[in-house]
């Protein structure tokens, strides 16, 4: 069961995320979509979106929020000065009040990734699309419950990831939001590149908690309902870069995807060390050296194939069910 302060924070985050997307929708169509949500007490890192009797719902499990908070809380201990210096965007001395606010920001961004991913399934029409084709109008994180074909499932999941990346960048690099944080602690967020980096750190930790570095067998890419985590994370980061370039063309990033591919394993390794020391996993079971084939040319080019499949086959099919013009 979530601690009271954490439950209150999670409720606020979910409501704010729904409100943010609905405001965008209202500005385009003058409508808002009622969405219910529930946080269930269960030891599962999971979430799902549902369309039942013309009502949308989001279901989250408490473990999802608890594990994210505990990981960031540990990583931001005073003793872990190198992680603090990464997220503070400089070789700064540790300040407890800054660390606490960075914890709040990273927790917010990490939770929004999953929340906005599920909202992507709703607002991009995935659930209504499934219902129209006689399938269960639920998007699961569990492959065994997924009734879509592999190619369609992969395309819809990447589309929801792109939706989440765009929303996260929109919130975090918005000048008024940066100014709000800097009013609390001057120069907490140095610039939009720093804001973008915080979004990247939050995403890497979320993918890592889901098992990014956990050793797994290589499977047939064509038969998977969900792309492997390293492949999905890379796609998510590319979407985040594209979103930043679109929204902040006057303040371009000082790095590209090639730089991020060099940096993110170092961020991931902090979570792997947390898994080793706090949770007791063996060092070789969670490592940034595991599953590197998921970043091979074959996997990355498969994402390009999925983008083409989306543009040529899925975009028009989703158009009648999507609340926003399909990207």
**What is the distance between the alpha carbons of residues 306 and 161, in angstroms, rounded to a whole number?**
13
pLDDT at residue 311 in the model: 95
Burial of 188 (0-12, 13-18, 19+ CB in 10 A): buried
**DSSP state at residue 7:** H
**Cα 118 to Cα 51, 96, 113, 222, distances in angstroms:** 12, 33, 9, 24
Which structure tokens are listed for 244? 């930043």
Q: pTM of this prediction? A: 0.96
Q: Determine how many CB atoms are found less than 10 A away from the CB of residue 227.
A: 23
In the chain, DSSP finds a helix count (H) and a strand count (E) of 12, 4
- Whole-angstrom Cα distance, residue 216 to residue 219? 9
DSSP-derived 3-state class of residue 60: strand
> What whole-number distance in Å separates Cα of residue 187 and Cα of residue 170?
20
Residue 85's pLDDT is what?
Answer: 94
For residues 85 and 91, the answer to whether their CB atoms sit within 8 Å is yes
Contact at 8 Å (CB) between 208 and 273? no
Q: Which residue positions in the chain have pLDDT lower than 70?
A: 142-144
End-to-end CA distance of the chain: 38
**In whole angstroms, how far apart are CA 19 and each of 26, 88, 208, 244, 307?**
10, 29, 28, 21, 29
| Sequence spans of domains, the chain | 66-137+148-318
Do residues 71 and 61 make contact, with C-beta atoms less than 8 angstroms apart? Answer: no
Taking the CA of residue 309 as centre, how many other CA atoms within 13 Å lie in the half-sphere pointing to its CB?
Answer: 15
- Please write the tens of the pLDDT for every residue from 186-216: 999 999 999 999 999 999 999 999 999 999 9
């Amino acid at each position: 069961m979530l601690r009271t302060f954490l439950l209150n924070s999670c409720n606020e985050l979910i409501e704010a995320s729904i409100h943010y997307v609905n405001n965008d929708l209202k500005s385009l169509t003058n409508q808002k979509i009622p969405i219910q949500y529930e946080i269930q007490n269960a030891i599962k890192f999971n979430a799902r979106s549902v369309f039942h009797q013309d009502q949308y719902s989001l279901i989250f499990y408490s473990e999802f929020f608890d594990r994210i908070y505990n990981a960031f809380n540990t990583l931001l201990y005073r003793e872990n000065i190198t992680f603090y210096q990464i997220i503070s965007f400089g070789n700064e001395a540790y300040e407890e009040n800054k660390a606490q606010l960075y914890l709040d920001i990273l927790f917010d961004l990490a939770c929004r990734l999953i929340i906005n991913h599920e909202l992507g399934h709703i607002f991009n029409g995935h659930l209504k699309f499934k219902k129209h084709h006689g399938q269960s109008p639920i998007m699961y994180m569990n492959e065994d419950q997924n009734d879509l074909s592999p190619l369609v499932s992969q395309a819809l999941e990447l589309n929801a990831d792109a939706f989440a990346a765009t929303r996260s960048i929109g919130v975090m690099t918005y000048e008024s939001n940066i100014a709000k944080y800097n009013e609390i602690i001057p120069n907490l967020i140095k610039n939009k590149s720093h804001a973008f980096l915080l979004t990247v750190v939050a995403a890497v930790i979320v993918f890592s908690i889901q098992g990014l570095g956990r050793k797994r067998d290589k499977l047939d890419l064509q038969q998977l309902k969900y792309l492997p985590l390293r492949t999905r994370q890379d796609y998510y980061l590319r979407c985040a870069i594209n979103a930043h370039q679109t929204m902040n063309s006057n303040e371009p990033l000082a790095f590209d995807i090639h730089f991020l591919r060099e940096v993110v394993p170092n961020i991931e390794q902090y979570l792997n060390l947390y898994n080793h020391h706090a949770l007791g996993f063996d060092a070789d079971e969670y490592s940034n050296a595991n599953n590197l084939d998921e970043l091979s040319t074959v996997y990355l080019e498969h994402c390009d194939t999925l983008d083409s499949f989306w543009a040529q086959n899925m975009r028009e099919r989703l158009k009648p069910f999507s609340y926003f013009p399909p990207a």
